[in-house]
Amino acid sequence: MSASAEKLVTMANQIGRFFVPQRDADPAAAIADHLEKFWDPRMRAAIVAHLAAGGAGLDGPVREAVGRLKTVKIPEKGLSA
């Protein structure tokens, strides 16, 4: 796992640890919503690609949340994921 993927996994799992204990909502939905709202499209694209490559290190609810993310479109201003 690359250093950048490792950092994203750590961040996503931290978000997951916040939402999982909240029993009022579906944790995976809450995590996915947070990633959609607050993560840069390049970050979302990278975590989705990480999941597609096996998702090493992602906690269960986070893995499910990343799987729910909508298709991420990267702006074409020369930015890469």
pLDDT bin (cut points 50, 70, 90) of residue 75 is low
Q: What confidence score (pLDDT) does residue 73 get? A: 60
Across the range 8-18, mean pLDDT stands at 97
- Report the predicted TM-score, pTM, of the whole model to 2 decimal places: 0.83
48-65 pLDDT, tens per residue?
A: 999 999 999 999 999 999
Q: What is the 3-state secondary structure (H, E, C) of 33-63?
A: HHHHHHCCHHHHHHHHHHHHCCCCCCCHHHH
Token couple for 2: 């690359």
20-48 pLDDT, tens per residue?
A: 888 778 999 999 999 999 999 999 999 99
